[in-house]
Each structure stands twice: as C-alpha cells, then as structure tokens.
Structure 1
Amino acid sequence: MRKTKYILAAILVLFALAVSVVPGCVQKDDRVLKRVSVDEAYRLIQENRDNPEFIIIDVRTPQEYSQMHIDGAINIDFYSPKFRDELNGLDKSKTYLIYCRTGHRSGEALKIMDELGFEHVYEMEGGIMQWMAKGYPVIK
C-alpha cells in the first residue's frame, strides 16, 4: 500500500514537470504565455473584436508598422530604448496578442512580458509575414 502511494506521488510529480516544460507555453498559476499559430491568432482576434481587455501589439519599428499592420494593433517598437518601460506601463491583467515580422522580436518580447508579470500573452508564430502568406487582412 505504501509503495503504491509513493509510485503514484512520483507519477504526479513527473506529470507536473512534463506539463511545465511544454515548448511555447509558460503557465504559472493562472498566467498563460503562449505561442500560437497564425490561424489561432486570427481566431483570437475575431473572438475578441469588441473586447477592450484584448490588445494587439505590433513590436516592429514605426516604419514597418506604417507600411502594414494588423487592424487594431498598437505599435511598441522592440528596438526602442524605452521598450521595456512602455510594456511595463501596460495593464498586466489584460490579454495581449503580440507579433513582429517573422516571430523573433515577438518571441523576445514574450520573455520580457513574462519577466514583467503579464498574465495572458499570446505570441503569433511566423509574424506578419506568415499572416499575409495565409491571406489574412492587413491595414496599409
């Protein structure tokens, strides 16, 4: 009987460890920081179209943003010396979808947002290039 308890406890610990290291997803308490496909990002945008608690952030440069961006996105330049401070000034309890050109900068931004304690952040894999390749709309 004791052996069974220990085995069950070990299995639960291993399961918890496995879940905590799933690539692309950090889950701490109720926090969710996750990479999502372009299709998932599009679905999130559609589901939250009228939700003021859902914010889309384009972390490319202002020049890149002015050429094209996802409708409703705000621009916070990853390369700005004030980038971290600008993120830190946002409401950490809201839900954010972040993207860049190909996914590199937004991946780094996701790490920063995790460090700053954001609760719900989705990072769009492949960036706006993958978004456009799928035929989703942009503002030019």
Structure 2
Amino acid sequence: MDSNPPNQRDAVKLLARLGYASRGVVYLLVGGLAALAALGQGGQTEGSRGALESVLTAPFGKVLLGIIALGLVGYAVWRTLQALQDTDHHGSGTKGLAIRGGLLVSAVTHTFLAFFAAKLVVHIGGSSGS
C-alpha cells in the first residue's frame, strides 16, 4: 500500500523535464542551422525564432511545435519557481538576488519564445513560407 498519488511536485518535475528537453531541441535546431549555413548548405542563422519556424516544414511540424511550446512554458514555470521560492538556495543577499533575477529574466524570455511557437501553430494556415 505504498502507492502515492501524483502530487504537485511530480507535475512540476515533469514540466521542468519537458522544458529542458524543449530548450535542448531549440538549441540543437539553432546549432544545426548555423552549421548548415557555415558549410554553405543553405541553412539560415536566424536564431531561436528561425529555428522554430523551420520545424513547421518537418512532418507533423505543427504537433512538434506545439509540444515544444508546451515544454518552453514548463521551463519558464520552473525558472519562475526557482527564482521565487529559491529552490537552489541562492539566498537573499546581493549575489543571490542577482542570480534569482537572472532566473526570472530567463523565465520571461522562454515565455515569449513559447508564445511565438504557439502563435506559429495557430497562425500557420494564413501564410506560406519559403
């Protein structure tokens, strides 16, 4: 009788893991596109937004982009919790507050990136890319 129901902490861990995975996918896409551009293979170095736009050309691109957007929201939630609840014990000194402020900036940045990805999924029917 040791079956504990999933709790809020498990949900946060799952969101954080999905967030780290999504963040990794975005970085791999950016790096891959930069490598293709450097090799003259037609890749574009357009940053995170360009990388997300390139996902749309893949099979099931809208689904993949939706999963990435959800993961980025999870990552932003995790960063917010790290900053506000001081889960890493940075403290409330000058250095600790600076680190925690950086975590909040990261949360905001990833929220905007998630919003951009979600907007691409919803708005894709109205425009055609190259």
Query: Could you say whether these structures have the same fold, taking a TM-score greater than 0.5 normalized by the shorter chain as the test?
Result: no
- Greater share of helix residues, 1 or 2? 2
- Greater share of strand residues, 1 or 2? 1
Normalising by structure 1, we get a TM-score of 0.26
